[in-house]
Amino acid sequence: MKTIINPATGKKIFVGGPTYNKLKKDPNFSAEVSKRAANAKNVGIRVSKKFVLKRSKRLRMSRSKPRSMTKSRITISQVKKIPGSSSFGKYTPKDGPFCGPKGGAAPMTYPVGTKKRAINAISRSVNAPSPKGIRTCATNYALKKHWITKEDKKRLLIHK
């Protein structure tokens, strides 16, 4: 791909690209752009590492995912297909303890770091393969933090 310097802005543009075509139609820059395009040399396109990491969906590229999944090279879309794991990748480790693995879901799902998230984990546990494991984990953590009482815990574990 050939690149030239845009006479209007001083930045690099691709020969045949949209900016080049606009300048070619402009009577003020048409001759200059044609002259520069004739002398242009082929240049390899360099893609920055940041771009490659941003576009990649491999877990090995991300530092916030569990090591066990990093080594196996499973993609995020494959993990999201596991029942109860559609929120995988949404939360960071600082969002608190996670109850997903106790219910058969992916790691870093069903966070219980705050009272609101613990209640949400209990209510959404029906989507997991083993809802009882998530409810038990979430109610134990909520009881430990004094967000619920022992009676609340019994009531939450009996239903569903």
Query: pLDDT tens for residues 35-84?
Result: 888 888 776 544 444 433 334 444 444 445 555 555 556 677 777 777 78
Q: 3-class DSSP state for residue 41?
A: coil
In this model, does residue 137 exceed pLDDT 90? Answer: yes
- Kindly state whether residues 27 and 89 are assigned to the same domain: no
Residue 69 domain-assigned (yes or no): no
**111 phi and psi, to 5 degrees?**
-70, 150
Token pair listed for 27? 């009577």
**16 phi and psi, to 5 degrees?**
95, -5
Question: Between these two residues, 149 and 45, which has the higher pLDDT value?
Answer: 149
Residue 63 domain-assigned (yes or no): no
Residue 129 domain-assigned (yes or no): yes
Question: pLDDT band at 154, cuts 50/70/90?
Answer: confident
Evaluate whether 107 touches 100 at the Cβ level (below 8 Å). Answer: yes
Evaluate whether 138 touches 110 at the Cβ level (below 8 Å). Answer: yes
Residue 52 domain-assigned (yes or no): no
CA-nearest of 34, 73, 68 to 57 is 73
Q: What is the pLDDT of residue 83?
A: 79
Q: What is the pLDDT of residue 14?
A: 83
- Kindly state whether residues 153 and 107 are assigned to the same domain: yes
Tally the domains of the chain: 2
- Kindly state whether residues 79 and 149 are assigned to the same domain: yes
Q: Which domain holds residue 117?
A: 75-158
Query: pLDDT tens for residues 5-28?
Result: 888 888 888 888 888 888 889 888
What angle is formed at CA 52 by the lines to CA 46 and CA 55, rounded to 5 degrees?
135
Q: What is the pLDDT of residue 65?
A: 52
Euclidean distance between CA atoms 107 and 139, whole angstroms:
18
- Kindly state whether residues 86 and 151 are assigned to the same domain: yes
Token pair listed for 43? 């240049």
In this model, does residue 32 exceed pLDDT 80? Answer: yes
Q: What is the pLDDT of residue 48?
A: 43
Query: pLDDT tens for residues 83-129?
Result: 788 888 888 888 889 998 898 888 889 999 999 999 999 989 888 88
